[in-house]
Structure 1
Amino acid sequence: MQQITKQEKAQRLEKLAWILDSVIPIPGTNWRIGLDGLIGLIPGVGDISAGAISTYILYQALRMGVPTMVVGRMLLNIVMESVVGVIPFFGDIFDFAFKSNKRNVELLREYVDQPDTVKRRSTFTVIITIVGFLLVLGLLVWGMFSLIAALIHAL
């Protein structure tokens, strides 16, 4: 059995990302949409299904030995598209525009070409995202307790 190189795997994943994000041209524009966005239009299960399909690229990145922080950044792209995608109408527009699969394959390609640079950038992005998430979570918890305290005090 012939071994395929990381470059060849990246090329195959680029084709998959193109199908998922850009296969269908919109007449009269430079915009393209893909199956990922169309699947996301299915009420209830579309965004979850599209997110699950997107994890195949993530799985292949893990098999290629991509570092955890780069995979984490790829996962953030999928989660962002999946979470925002559930918002009616706006989420569907976001799905068509964000193109997480294309972003993830670009990260993978950059990692294959310049591993240290991508690893550093991804580490920074993941850390900033986690810190931001924790800050928002902390503010929500503080707000909830403040509201409860105000309600108790008012009674």
Structure 2
Amino acid sequence: MTARIDPRIFDSLPMGRDVASVRRRIEALEAVLERMFVIPGINRPVGLDAIVGLIPVVGDVIAAAMGSWLVWEARNLGLSRFQMARMMGNVGFDAVLGLVPFVGDAADIYFRSNTRNLRIIRRHLDKHHPAGVVLEG
């Protein structure tokens, strides 16, 4: 497995409550949960969510708790109830699939609830807080 995330990303993580700080924090957490390593044989990125999910039951509860933190940050950003329900549905679906042996482990690789939730948060931030948009280039 090769590391795919630059570890320096955590050096400059702001702990502020402004939109740009929250956005960087959420993006960093999603990267750790979903794209930390690449599996050599299939060239698919996996993260802490999939690794912790290998531990029966307890790992899935821990992974759901980490995913719920993204939902908590989204709540603090003022996302609508519908968006929050979709995000909790993503986390819940991932957690329920994780309870099924082998199927849950494969689901962690292909159904990325945290990436889906980050996409919902980004859409909200781009629409309601355009000044906090981070340009990459």
TM-score by length of 1: 0.68
Letter in 2 for 1:33: V
TM-score by length of 2: 0.76
Letter in 1 for 2:108: D
Shift in CA distance, 39/11, structure 1 to aligned 2, threshold 3 Å = same
Query: 2:34·2:46 contact (CA, 8 Å) conserved in 1?
Result: yes
Offset, 1:34: 0.4
Q: List runs of 5+ in structure 1 lacking aligned partners.
A: 116-155
Determine which of 99, 102, 120 is the counterpart of 1:107: 120
Determine which of 102, 105, 111 is the counterpart of 1:92: 105
Question: What residue is the counterpart of 1:45 in the other structure?
Answer: 58
Determine which of 94, 97, 102 is the counterpart of 1:81: 94
SS in 1 for 2:28: helix
**Take 2:100 and 2:65, find their aligned partners in 1: how far apart are those partners?**
18
How many residues align? The count is 114
Question: What residue is the counterpart of 1:148 in the other structure?
Answer: none
Letter in 1 for 2:31: W
Please, which moves more after superposition, 5-14 or 88-97? 5-14
Question: What residue is the counterpart of 2:19 in the other structure?
Answer: 6
The answer to whether 1:36 aligns with 2:54 is no
Determine which of 64, 84, 107 is the counterpart of 2:77: 64
Q: List runs of 5+ in structure 2 lacking aligned partners.
A: 1-14, 129-137
Query: 2:16·2:22 contact (CA, 8 Å) conserved in 1?
Result: no
Shift in CA distance, 101/89, structure 1 to aligned 2, threshold 3 Å = same
Shift in CA distance, 113/32, structure 1 to aligned 2, threshold 3 Å = same
Offset, 1:29: 4.0
**Take 2:97 and 2:127, find their aligned partners in 1: how far apart are those partners?**
30
Q: Please, what is the CA RMSD of the aligned residues?
A: 1.6
* Overall identity of the aligned pairs, in %: 34
Letter in 1 for 2:59: G
Offset, 1:107: 0.7
Query: 1:10·1:105 contact (CA, 8 Å) conserved in 2?
Result: no
